[in-house]
Structure 1
């Protein structure tokens, strides 16, 4: 192997090494793929959807109501849910209606589901913040209340309690697979 060939090989190896380091940094600190596993976010997200999670969202800002977030639920499980309650708020559901500090809040992402319900059917069972694990009167600073969009089939704050901001991995912003669903997450 000549000196020129050796230099060319070294340049290629160096370029691939730099690309690998950049990819690792991006995946660890900026963006990460995640796969939806289960029906808890139907109809917004479907089982098997591949999403991009923006990991910078909450290191540079605060969660907002209705953000769809990924959080570390247990040592081995990550969950995808929607932020419903923010620090300092009291949250309650009565008659399929969200109340924040006793004011009704529209949930446009549930409208189609609620319109399909027949009489005497409930989509979100009544509860108040103080009924959840922890028994809080308001959501403490550094925590959020999350629910799945498929309210009858979701392990969320009603069972897990409030979610610490420290456990938030990031905000889902884009569906990258399957092709017919590519686009921003609503």
Structure 2
């Protein structure tokens, strides 16, 4: 083998190793996810491609209004666990009450300019325990969320991260509020 070939091979190995290290580091901090369903309409739509910040809750707690991705015990058609995208409505220590289609947190009516329709089904009256959050979709009529036994309160340990950016469709690239 020629010296030129060896130098070239070493350079390629360095480039590939560097790329793998960067890929590993990046995947520890962010994760892509795809929206399935209409539960977060109009904020998010089916097939929106999102980037979530996996580190957002390693150093802090979820806050009301955050859009999060969390794992559930629900199964998809292929048998894999289903991840859900929802908005945090109440956090540990908060008293949430849903009555007559209105949402109250700590006895204050929650202003929800982001919801698709004004009707919120359910009669909830509970204090959120430590280590849990109450999350709902923005499209309340099409959302399986903390109001229902199948999902229930979201354990902090099941939260994968906070939605940071919508990458696709390209005409809607930007942060999520």
Task: Tell me if TM exceeds 0.5.
Answer: yes
**2:59 matches 1:60:** yes
- Matched with 1:92 is 97
- For residues 164 and 18 of structure 1, the distance between their equivalents in structure 2, rounded to whole angstroms, comes to 36
In the alignment, which of 93, 106, 112 is matched to residue 101 of structure 1? 106
Work out whether residues 92 and 126 of structure 1, in 8 Å CA contact, stay in contact via their aligned partners in 2. Answer: no
- Matched with 1:18 is 18
- Give the structure-1-normalised TM-score: 0.85
Work out whether residues 117 and 140 of structure 2, in 8 Å CA contact, stay in contact via their aligned partners in 1. Answer: no
In the alignment, which of 151, 156, 164 is matched to residue 173 of structure 1? 164
- Matched with 1:36 is 35
Offset from partner CA, 1:133-175 (integer Å, 9 cap, x none): xxxx411111000001111111111121111100000000110
More helix by share: 1
- For residues 13 and 40 of structure 1, the distance between their equivalents in structure 2, rounded to whole angstroms, comes to 46
Task: Give ranges in structure 2 of 5+ residues lacking alignment.
Answer: 74-79
User: What is the Cα deviation at residue 72 of structure 1?
Assistant: 0.7
What SS does structure 1 have at the residue aligned with 2:127?
coil
- Give the structure-2-normalised TM-score: 0.90
How many residues are matched? 169
What SS does structure 2 have at the residue aligned with 1:5?
helix
User: What is the Cα deviation at residue 56 of structure 1?
Assistant: 0.7
**2:154 matches 1:163:** yes
Query: 4+ residue runs of structure 1 moved beyond 4 angstroms?
Result: none
- For residues 72 and 91 of structure 1, the distance between their equivalents in structure 2, rounded to whole angstroms, comes to 22
- For residues 19 and 176 of structure 2, the distance between their equivalents in structure 1, rounded to whole angstroms, comes to 29
More strand by share: 2
User: What is the Cα deviation at residue 94 of structure 1?
Assistant: 2.4
Task: Give ranges in structure 1 of 5+ residues lacking alignment.
Answer: 115-122, 130-136
- Matched with 1:45 is 44
**2:173 matches 1:182:** yes
Q: What is the alpha-carbon root mean square deviation over aligned residues?
A: 1.4
